[in-house]
Every structure is written in structure tokens, then in C-alpha cells.
Amino acid sequence: MDIKSPAVGKVLRLAVASGAQVACGDELMVIESMKVEIPVKAPASGRLVEFRVKPGDQIQRNSVIAVIEA
């Protein structure tokens, strides 16, 4: 399952490590858009396969930023 960016912005921090088990609603990362911090949460439970971004990366709306395997 691809997790897409909710907004244009910059990745501030990653909250979990790749390979971690996550539950639906767990915070995965925080992005900053227009000076507002936006938490990105897991849409489903599973294993976080990979992040496709790192802190400091600029991202576009609807770009794939992480992948979860349910």
C-alpha cells in the first residue's frame, strides 16, 4: 500500500524505522507545509517496507512517500 503526501512541503522527521510493525493511526513522519507541521499517519496496520523520502526532502502533493505491507 502506497502512502502519499497530503501536501506540498518538506519532510521534518521520520517517527519509525523502516521494517517496523505499525498499527492503523500510528504516526509515520511529520511534514511541514506553509509553516504548519502535518503528521502523516499509517492508513492500515502492517509492516513499513520503506520510506521513499528522508528528512529535508521537498515533496509534492500525492507523491509516494512510504510503503506499507499489510
Please report the pLDDT score of residue 9 as a whole number. Answer: 97
Which residue has better confidence, 70 or 55? 55
Count of structural domains within the chain: 1
Confidence of residue 70 (pLDDT cuts 50, 70, 90): confident
State the residue range of the domain holding 54.
Answer: 2-69
Q: What is the CATH number of the domain that holds 46?
A: 2.40.50.100
Whole-angstrom Cα Rg for the chain: 11
**At a CB cut-off of 8 Å and minimum separation 6, what does 34 contact?**
9
**How do residues 5-64 score in pLDDT, each as one tens digit?**
999 999 999 999 999 999 999 999 999 999 999 999 999 999 999 999 999 999 999 999
**At a CB cut-off of 8 Å and minimum separation 6, what does 50 contact?**
18, 66, 67
Please report the pLDDT score of residue 11 as a whole number. Answer: 98
